[in-house]
Amino acid sequence: MRMSGLLLRTLRDDPADADTDSQRLLLRAGYIRRAAAGIYSWLPLGHRVLRRVEQIVREEMDRAGAQEILLPILQPLELWQRSGRDVAYGPLMFRLLDRKETGFCLSPTAEELMATLVASELSSYRDLPVNLYQIQWKFRDELRPRFGLLRAREFLMKDAYSFDADLDGLRASYQRMYNAYCSIFDRCGLTFRAVEAQSGEMGGDVNHEFMAVAAVGEDDFVWCKACDYAANVEAARRDHSWHHTEVPAAAATVDAPPMEEVHTPGLPGIQGVADFLGVEPSTLLKCIVFDADGELGLALVPGDREVNEFALARAVAPRKVRLYTDEDFAAHPELPKGYIGPHYPGAALVVADVSLDAPRAWVTGANRVDHHARNVVLGRDFAVDVWAGLVTIVTGDACPNCGEPLSVDRGIEVGHVFQLGTKFSKVFGANYVDEHGDEHPIVMGCYGVGISRVVAAIVEEHHDDNGIAWPAALAPYDVHLLALPGRGDAAQAVVAAAERCYEELLAGGFQVLYDDRDASPGVKFADADLLGMPVQLVIGAKGLARGVVERKVRATGDRSELPITEVLAGMLAGAAT
């Protein structure tokens, strides 16, 4: 492609509203343009990258035995009402009415429609297993779209759905998809980890997020360097090898003075009380108030740790949990906000983190405003109904698998795989008849890759101060050829040599971006680094006089020279290595 005919305008300065490196560089380099908040146009170079990611995904899905189809973006709202996910998605879903006042939505995902399709097409155990996928645009009305492509309202996604006769079949399908995802992200050049995760509105008991490691990521995940354990912080587990269901004798017989109230005026926070009493925050007991199916509950964690709301929900399931908000406290003025202790008489359920299971005395709220209590002992002054790993994991906590210290990193979710089970097949009548004539619901799995989000994640990892450095598998062009004819007598010879080189590389199977513009060398070099093709070839008067072309590897900056008569051979040799 000749740049003189390419729709491309690079920007010298960073866009004022860009808040991530990927957003900043993709806009500066002319890969995308903002159409509205969270909605982007893909210009020629950006579209080529998007299609290359898409092709990698398609190849790995086909290799794993999935079949490609294409579902409509516009879906009947009635399907979502049947599953109940119209309520679950709430304002995230774009809704509209046709001229007959029939409700529709713009697809945020496709479980409902896919289950409906399979229910009408498959009926026998002989039809199974089957795996169907599509690559289609999805829509979610994010309240605060940000970070460019990372949290957009319109995004390109690959969503696949497996259909099996039983759980063993689902597990096999799930593993094939899991392996395919590892191949996809390896080929895309991403540093990633597959982590245990919460299923959220999707449902299912087993699921993994694929997290591209990035400082700008919106999700924290924990991982162990000593084994293969990794999990989203929401789903991360503590080391429960010493978990107890009863109060241990050691904790109940702590040699401590009787519980004593202390006047702590205007100090409802942990740090303020610790400073006032001259103790460490870890010696305070934090009591978080929650609602469990209409009953008042307390979640107890050390004062220097935070409650993992998802872990709390798991601990008291099937009861529904909701942490108290300021509005809840305003509606219940009898609750001394910031001064509640584990011995609060109105608590119907007390859930404690396993780390409290130790022989020590605590500082806690005294259940009245401006007062705390010290020398509070488990088993003597308060009791626990449920023990669980409640705290949010931090670096240094023990791995639940091997006991070694965990690390916490940030990541971008680029893929998610779920074992759904029969949640959707039961709702939409996706059943099959077995060899004995008995009918059963089909067992489903679903598997998503955010293709447009992958593009942003790649830029987050592969860039420097000068611009993007695309991995070879995803670059819009393999080679960026720069002609620097200057104004001297050799100008025509340089142009002629660049033209020959361009045609030779094209004939050799390379995708070439040829900078034939009438622009200064400085502009051409800056744009080449900003655009980020893997290899730059520079033909100038000085090099031509010596019969060489300068070769630069964008990712490393390594430079070398190729004989101008052997450019194709040199590029082929470089591609082979």
Question: Is 223 a member of any domain?
Answer: no
**Residue 422 and residue 445 in contact, taking contact as beta carbons nearer than 8 Å:** no
Q: Residue 249: is its pLDDT beyond 90?
A: no
Q: How confident is residue 202, by pLDDT bands cut at 50, 70 and 90?
A: very low
Q: Residue 200: its pLDDT value, please?
A: 53
Across the range 107-136, mean pLDDT stands at: 97
Q: Which two tokens stand for residue 565?
A: 């008569």
- Nearest alpha-carbon partner for 353 in 380, 384, 381: 384
Across the range 73-101, mean pLDDT stands at: 96
Query: Position 197: which residue type?
Result: A
- Nearest alpha-carbon partner for 460 in 148, 183, 142, 196: 148
Residue 21 sits at the vertex; the CA angle it makes with 20 and 25, to the nearest 5 degrees, is 120
> Which of residues 92 and 397 earns the better pLDDT score?
92
Q: Indicate if 493 and 555 belong to the same structural domain.
A: yes
Q: Indicate if 95 and 189 belong to the same structural domain.
A: yes
Coil, strand or helix: which one is 325? coil
How many helices (H) and strands (E) the chain has is answered by: 16, 31
Q: Indicate if 32 and 84 belong to the same structural domain.
A: yes
**Residue 559 and residue 505 in contact, taking contact as beta carbons nearer than 8 Å:** no
Q: Residue 375: is its pLDDT beyond 50?
A: yes
Query: Position 253: which residue type?
Result: T
Q: Which two tokens stand for residue 341?
A: 């202790």
Q: Residue 1: its pLDDT value, please?
A: 95
Q: Indicate if 33 and 103 belong to the same structural domain.
A: yes
Q: Rounded distance, CA 568 to CA 347, Å?
A: 77
- Nearest alpha-carbon partner for 487 in 513, 514, 518: 518
At residue 241, φ and ψ (nearest 5 deg) are -65, -20
Kindly report, residue by residue over 151-196, the tens digit of the pLDDT.
999 999 999 999 999 999 999 999 999 999 999 999 999 999 998 8
Kindly report, residue by residue over 483-497, the tens digit of the pLDDT.
999 887 889 999 999
**Residue 20 and residue 147 in contact, taking contact as beta carbons nearer than 8 Å:** yes
Q: How confident is residue 199, by pLDDT bands cut at 50, 70 and 90?
A: low
Coil, strand or helix: which one is 303? coil
Beta strands in 425-533 (DSSP E): 431-433, 439-441, 443-450, 463-464, 467-468, 479-484, 512-515
Q: Residue 259: is its pLDDT beyond 70?
A: yes
Q: Which two tokens stand for residue 266?
A: 């205007």
Question: Is 51 a member of any domain?
Answer: yes
Q: How confident is residue 198, by pLDDT bands cut at 50, 70 and 90?
A: low
Across the range 364-385, mean pLDDT stands at: 94
Q: How confident is residue 314, by pLDDT bands cut at 50, 70 and 90?
A: confident
**Residue 419 and residue 172 in contact, taking contact as beta carbons nearer than 8 Å:** no
Question: Is 128 a member of any domain?
Answer: yes
Separation of CA 64 from chain center: 23
CATH number for 115? 3.30.930.10
The percent of residues above 70 in pLDDT, for the chain, comes to 95
Question: Is 510 a member of any domain?
Answer: yes
Q: Indicate if 335 and 436 belong to the same structural domain.
A: no
Q: Residue 66: its pLDDT value, please?
A: 98
Q: Rounded distance, CA 459 to CA 149, Å?
A: 11
Q: Which two tokens stand for residue 481?
A: 């050829």
CATH number for 272? 3.90.960.10
Q: Indicate if 72 and 211 belong to the same structural domain.
A: yes
Q: Rounded distance, CA 308 to CA 310, Å?
A: 5
Across the range 116-140, mean pLDDT stands at: 97
CATH number for 494? 3.40.50.800
Q: Indicate if 33 and 151 belong to the same structural domain.
A: yes
Q: Indicate if 455 and 483 belong to the same structural domain.
A: no
Question: Is 443 a member of any domain?
Answer: yes
Question: Is 41 a member of any domain?
Answer: yes
Which range is least confidently modeled, 209-218, 453-462, 506-515?
209-218
Average of per-residue pLDDT values in the chain: 91
Q: Indicate if 267 and 317 belong to the same structural domain.
A: yes
Q: Indicate if 507 and 450 belong to the same structural domain.
A: no
Q: Residue 253: its pLDDT value, please?
A: 56
Domain containing 329 equals: 249-388
Q: How confident is residue 239, by pLDDT bands cut at 50, 70 and 90?
A: low
- Number of structural domains, the chain? 3
Residue 397 sits at the vertex; the CA angle it makes with 391 and 402, to the nearest 5 degrees, is 120
Which range is least confidently modeled, 228-242, 397-411, 449-463, 493-507?
228-242
Kindly report, residue by residue over 92-112, the tens digit of the pLDDT.
999 999 999 999 999 999 999
Q: How confident is residue 576, by pLDDT bands cut at 50, 70 and 90?
A: very low
Which range is least confidently modeled, 28-32, 94-98, 107-111, 389-393?
389-393
Whole-angstrom Cα Rg for the chain: 30
Question: Is 314 a member of any domain?
Answer: yes
Helix H or strand E encompassing 561: strand 559-563
Q: How confident is residue 575, by pLDDT bands cut at 50, 70 and 90?
A: low
Which range is least confidently modeled, 19-28, 225-234, 473-482?
225-234
Kindly report, residue by residue over 487-531, the tens digit of the pLDDT.
878 899 999 999 999 999 999 999 999 999 999 999 999 999 999
Could you say which of 388, 416, 445 is where a domain stops? 388
Q: Rounded distance, CA 111 to CA 117, Å?
A: 10
Q: Residue 403: its pLDDT value, please?
A: 85
β partners of residue 263: 371
Q: Indicate if 109 and 62 belong to the same structural domain.
A: yes
Neighbours of 88 (CB within 10 A): 14
Burial level of 492, CB count in 10 A (0-12/13-18/19+)?
Answer: exposed
Kindly report, residue by residue over 325-342, the tens digit of the pLDDT.
999 999 999 999 999 999
> Which of residues 270 and 251 earns the better pLDDT score?
270
Q: Rounded distance, CA 339 to CA 499, Å?
A: 78
- Nearest alpha-carbon partner for 443 in 201, 194, 183, 206: 206
Query: 239: Cβ–Cβ under 8 A, 6 or more apart, which residues?
Result: 389, 397, 398, 399, 400, 403
Helix H or strand E encompassing 454: helix 451-461
Question: Is 178 a member of any domain?
Answer: yes
Separation of CA 549 from chain center: 42
Q: What is the pTM of this model?
A: 0.82
Q: Indicate if 23 and 161 belong to the same structural domain.
A: yes
